[in-house]
Structures are given as structure tokens and as C-alpha cells.
């Protein structure tokens, strides 16, 4: 089988970490006799520099015609510090999600044992943590209109909008995933304040009878933020709206010992995207020090979810786990020990894959 992968490395550390994921996929190709065909395209600040557009049409065409998208990171501090910038790199990511109809972002959290002591949480709170956050990705306050400023500039507004259809498809996905796991679904909202949240709750309650085997609980987002650090084991599948999911998954990611470890998959109508949940880490760009593991693990999710290559994906995950056990890690995880470079970690993973089987 041959698989077409669109490679959108993006900005900052994007190119360096994506290069390691490609090396790892190549090692898988060689070992298991698969063909992966890569085509690169621009997105984010690097696309603005060339085309004046953070998600050029040709990038969209490529994504539409690929079997999966491997994505690095976008963002450039130049834009963060300029609130009046007309185009922003992040608009590229948002446009891509929207145009590809990727309404669900899957963010699994399953900390590696060898990293538990690096978490800011006590080890006993972490053992056995295994949860999946499903973040709605193409609605809510990120996309609701109107958005903007009053004429005198003294008032600014964003609008949070959800249709029943948007809510139903994502909450259903939550029920489906819970059914394949430990059969518990936590619906996170702010139904005591927000109308959109009340719609979420109403729809989830309407769906409950269709999934009698699933235990459902409803939780306000502020409480959820607290429970993620006080009792993370209680979660199996969590489903929530776009912005709550953005915030809660950054919080959840540090539990695993490093933000540099968490992969994600964005799925929906057209081609799925696989991307680390961290940002473009501009301070590290070009220095060969960033942790490539979140991107490598995103590539494993791609092998698994987009191509159905379960064994291959499991071998990639095992390689990452073993590299951590061997303390062959980048500086974010080095803790006084020797820190290895981004590409050295990539090489280590490639060698492991060459020399080991499940
Ligand atoms: C993420 C990022 C993006 C988001 C930004 C870069 C627009 O933080 O993927 O979590 O907020 O969705
Ligand atoms: Mn985020």
C-alpha cells in the first residue's frame, strides 16, 4: 500500500520536529514494506511570508488530496506582540481545521511510567491515568460571528455559537469512544452560565438513552480544571467545546511530565491532521533542542487512525517509551542528566525501530 502524506511543518521548531517524525515513518516503511509519499506545503507565518496568506489554496488542495496531514506547529512572536496585525499565523490553522471539516480533536493522555516522577503531581495520583479529551474544533467562540471592535475601538466582542447539529455529532463521538474504552463519559460545560452549554447538556441528555452502557456525568469546566489535577484517574472520555478543550488539554498535558510529549489527531469530514499539542516554541527554533516526541507520537496516531497500521503505531510508541526509560531525552526532560538533541533523539528512535519488534 502507498499512503500520501501532506507535510506541513509550519513555523518555529515545526521543521525540526517534523523531520524526526519523517525519519521514524521512513524506518517503519522500510521495516514493514510500506510506501509513504510526502509532499510539503506552507502554512502559518512561513506561508504569510511567501503568499500573504497563512493557509494558501495550494496547501488546502494538497491536504484534500492526501491520505493524512502531518503538521508541526505555527506561530511567530512577531504577530503575538502586534494586536493590530491583519493576518496572523494562527488563522492558517483555524482555516485548515474549518475547511477540512475537522470538528473533533482527540487528545489522549496516558503518561509514560518513566516520566511520572517528572510530573508536578504526586506519582500516586498519576498511576493508571488514561483519559481521552475530545475537543470540539470548528465551532464555539473561535469561529462565532460577530467578532470585532466597536467603531470607537472601546468595546470588543467575540460570540460563542453552537448549533444542535454540531453539538450532537461531537457528543456522539464521545459516547462512541467511551463505548470502546472504560464506558464513562464526562461532558464538560458551563451550563450554569452559558446558553451554548445548556444546549450541550440538553443534547447529551437526549442521547443518553441510546447508549445505556455508558455512564455519563456532567461537570462544570471550572470543576473539571480542578479535578484534572486533583483526581485525574476519574476521567475516561471527556467531551467539551472548543475553548474549554484548548485550555483543559494544556493543563492536562503537564501531568504527563512535559508538554513536549502530547500528540493529537483532528478528525472529521475530510483528511485528518496529526499534530503535537504544543506550539511553535520560537525561542528554540533552529537550535535542535526541542522535544520531537509529541510529533513522533502524532505520527503514530496517524499510522493507527488514518492508515489502520496498528502494529507499526505500537512499535513507534514503544520506541518513544524506551527512549525515555533509557534517559535518551531532550533538555525539557533531562533533569540534570545529559540532554540530547532533537535529531539525536530522532536517530535513537529510528535505530530502535530497526532493531526491535513487538
Ligand atoms: C492548539 C493551539 C491553537 C488553538 C492555536 C495555535 C490557534 O493552541 O492547537 O491547541 O487554540 O486551537
Ligand atoms: Mn492550545
Residue range 234-252, pLDDT digits in tens: 999 999 999 999 999 989 9
Per the structure, the complete domain to which residue 125 belongs is given by: 120-255
pLDDT confidence bin for 170, thresholds 50/70/90: very high
> Does 96 fall in a domain?
yes
pLDDT exceeds cutoff 80 at 1: no
Q: How far is the CA of 299 from the centre of ligand 2 (A)?
A: 19
DSSP conformation class of 181? T
122 is catalytic: no
293 and 343 co-located in one domain: yes
Helix (H) or strand (E) holding 243: helix 242-255
Q: Which among 209, 228, 255 is the end of a domain?
A: 255
Task: Indicate whether 194 and 243 sit together in one domain.
Answer: yes
Ligand 1: distance of its center to the CA of 274 in Å?
A: 13
Q: What is the mean pLDDT of residues 190-205?
A: 98
Q: Which of 38, 250, 322, 347 is flagged as catalytic?
A: 250
What pLDDT, on the 0 to 100 scale, is given for residue 84?
83
Q: Which residue has the cell 479529551?
A: 133
Q: What is the pLDDT of residue 257?
A: 80
- pLDDT, mean of residues 200-206: 98
On whether residue 115 sits in a domain, the answer given is no
* Highest-scoring range by mean pLDDT, 55-59, 118-122, 333-337: 55-59
Q: Are residues 143 and 236 in the same domain?
A: yes
Q: How is residue 271 written as a grid cell?
A: 483528511
CA distance 93 to 31: 33
Distance CA 53, CA 346 (A): 31
- In the listed set 200, 234, 255, which residue is the last one of a domain according to the structure? 255
Domain boundary among 255, 274, 306: 255
Query: Are 87 and 152 in a shared domain?
Result: no
With a 6 A CB cut-off, is 241 part of the ligand 1 pocket? no
**pLDDT band, very low/low/confident/very high, at 307 (cuts 50, 70, 90):** very high
Question: Would residue 190 show up in a list of annotated catalytic residues for this protein?
Answer: yes
222 is a catalytic site residue = yes
The rounded percent of the chain whose pLDDT value lies above 70 is 100
**Given this model, what pLDDT does residue 213 score?**
98
**C-alpha 246 – ligand 2 centre gap (Å):** 5
Q: Which residue has the higher pLDDT, 337 or 297?
A: 297
Say if residue 135 carries a ligand binding annotation: yes
33 is in an annotated binding site: no
Q: Are residues 229 and 283 in the same domain?
A: no
Query: What pLDDT does residue 53 have?
Result: 96
* 225, part of any domain: yes
Ligand closest to the CA atom of residue 140: 1
pLDDT category at 80 given cuts 50, 70, 90 is confident
User: Is the domain of 135 the same as that of 198?
Assistant: yes
Indicate the number of domains in the chain: 2
Annotated active-site residue 246? The verdict is yes
User: Does 222 belong to an annotated binding site?
Assistant: yes
Strand partners for 40: 7
113: in domain: no
User: Based on the domain organization, do 177 and 99 belong to the same domain?
Assistant: no
% of the chain beyond a pLDDT of 90: 90
Ligand 2: centre distance to CA 40 (Å): 24
Q: Any idea what the CATH number is for the domain that residue 329 is in? A: 3.40.718.10
pLDDT at 258: 82
Instruction: Please state the φ and ψ torsions of residue 66, each to the nearest 5 degrees.
Output: -110, 165
In this predicted model, what pLDDT tens digit does every residue of 4-20 receive, in sequence order?
Answer: 999 999 999 999 999 99
43 lines ligand 1 (CB under 6 A): no
Q: What is the pLDDT of residues 127-168, one digit of tens each?
A: 999 999 999 999 999 999 999 999 999 999 999 999 999 999
Work out the average pLDDT over 244-268: 91
Q: What is the band of 28 on the pLDDT scale with cuts at 50, 70, 90?
A: very high
pLDDT of residue 135: 98
Do the domain assignments include residue 186? yes
100 and 180 assigned to the same domain:
no
- State whether 11 and 89 are in the same domain: yes
**Is residue 93 in contact with ligand 1, taking CB distance under 6 Å?**
yes
209 and 145 belong to one structural domain = yes
Query: pLDDT band at 23, cuts 50/70/90?
Result: very high
Look at residue 72 and tell me if it is in a domain: yes
On whether residue 102 sits in a domain, the answer given is yes
Q: Domain check: are 331 and 289 in the same one?
A: yes
d(CA 292, CA 341): 9
Stronger pLDDT, 106 or 84, i.e. the higher one: 106
- Is 306 contained in some domain? yes
Residues 169 and 231 in one domain: yes
Interface predicted TM-score (ipTM) over 0.90: yes
For the chain, the average pLDDT equals 96
Q: Which of 122, 222, 287, 310 is catalytic?
A: 222
Distances (CA, A) of 79 to 74, 158, 250: 11, 20, 21
Q: Which of 11, 5, 9 is nearest to 72 (CA)?
A: 9
Amino acid at each position: 500500500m502507498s499512503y500520501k502524506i501532506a507535510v506541513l511543518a509550519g513555523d518555529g521548531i515545526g521543521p525540526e520536529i517534523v523531520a524526526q517524525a519523517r525519519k521514524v515513518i521512513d524506518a517503519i516503511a522500510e521495516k514493514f514494506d510500506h510506501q509513504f509519499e510526502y509532499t510539503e506545503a506552507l502554512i502559518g507565518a512561513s506561508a504569510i511570508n511567501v503568499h500573504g496568506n497563512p493557509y494558501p489554496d495550494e496547501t488546502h488542495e494538497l491536504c484534500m488530496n492526501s491520505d493524512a496531514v502531518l503538521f508541526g506547529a505555527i506561530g511567530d512572536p512577531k504577530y503575538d506582540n502586534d494586536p493590530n496585525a491583519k493576518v496572523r499565523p494562527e488563522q492558517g490553522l483555524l482555516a485548515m481545521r474549518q475547511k477540512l471539516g475537522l470538528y473533533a480533536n482527540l487528545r489522549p493522555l496516558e503518561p509514560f511510567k518513566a516520566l511520572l516522577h517528572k510530573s508536578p503531581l504526586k506519582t500516586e495520583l498519576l498511576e493508571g491515568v488514561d483519559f481521552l479529551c475530545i475537543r470540539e474544533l470548528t465551532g464555539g467562540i473561535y469561529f462565532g460571528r460577530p467578532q470585532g471592535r466597536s467603531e470607537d475601538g472601546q468595546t470588543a466582542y467575540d460570540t460563542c455559537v453552537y448549533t444542535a447539529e454540531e453539538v450532537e455529532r461531537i457528543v456522539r463521538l464521545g459516547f462512541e469512544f467511551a463505548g470502546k474504552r472504560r464506558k464513562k463519559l464526562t461532558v464538560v460545560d458551563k451550563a450554569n452560565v452559558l446558553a451554548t452549554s445548556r444546549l450541550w447538556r440538553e443534547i447529551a441528555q437526549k442521547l443518553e438513552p441510546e447508549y445505556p452502557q455508558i455512564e455519563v456525568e456532567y461537570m462544570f469546566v471550572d470543576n473539571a480544571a480542578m479535578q484534572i489535577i486533583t483526581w485525574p484517574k476519574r476521567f475516561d472520555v471527556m467531551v467539551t467545546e472548543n475553548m474549554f478543550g484548548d485550555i483543559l488539554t494544556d493543563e492536562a498535558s503537564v501531568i504527563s511530565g512535559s508538554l513536549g510529549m502530547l500528540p493529537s489527531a483532528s478528525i472529521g469530514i475530510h483528511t485528518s491532521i496529526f499534530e503535537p499539542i504544543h506550539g511553535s516554541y520560537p525561542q528554540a527554533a533552529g537550535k535542535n533542542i526541542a522535544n520531537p516526541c509529541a510529533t513522533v507520537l502524532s505520527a503514530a496516531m496517524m499510522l493507527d487512525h488514518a492508515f489502520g497500521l496498528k502494529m507499526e503505531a505500537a512499535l513507534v510508541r514503544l520506541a518513544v517509551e524506551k527512549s525515555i526509560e533509557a534517559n535518551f531525552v531532550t533538555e525539557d526532560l533531562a533533569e540534570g542528566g545529559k540532554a540530547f538533541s532533537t535529531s539525536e533523539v530522532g536517530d535513537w528512535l529510528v535505530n530502535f525501530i530497526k532493531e526491535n519488534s513487538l
